[in-house]
Amino acid sequence: MTEQFVSHNVEETYEFGRQFAGRLAVGALVALEGDLGAGKTALVRGIAKGLGVQDERMVSSPTYVLVQEYPCTLPIYHIDLYRMRHPGPELADLGLHEMLAHGVVLIEWAERAEKHLPRPFWRIRLEHSGLEERQLTISRVE
């Protein structure tokens, strides 16, 4: 089943993430896909708020550190694959399975390693559909 959501601005993308967090539990993996500036990090901020992060300003793209952990009701592990050369093996080296055993994993640029992601997982594709408007496509990959 695929769902569609249109976000008219960054606040609506954030709010969608906050509400989407209610679907997540320990072991959930969310693959975030989309071009630069599509709103992946804004979505992560909303999910983090929905899972209880005290200050969503601490949420930033982990492009240079690869993984950031946020203390929430469920720990969030935020991974960015943008700069990884071999994302499949590197995910294993980062301890993906251990992260999933303890919390929720959110992966930006997940399309770079999709065949290496453990199933099932959520896929959220963000696409520009206007200056601020985004089309979000949400699906479950089994």
> Measured between alpha carbons, how far is 109 from 77 in angstroms, rounded to an integer?
14
Count how many domains the chain has.
1
pTM value is 0.94
List, in order, residues 6 or more apart from 11 with CB less than 8 Å away: none
Q: What does pLDDT average to in each consecutive run of 10 residues of the chain (142 residues)?
A: 95 97 98 94 96 87 81 92 81 91 96 93 96 96 96
In this prediction, residue 64 carries a pLDDT of: 72
Residue 32 belongs to a domain: yes
Question: CATH code at 37?
Answer: 3.40.50.300
* pLDDT for res 63: 67
Name the nearest CA neighbour of 108 among 26, 4, 38, 10: 38
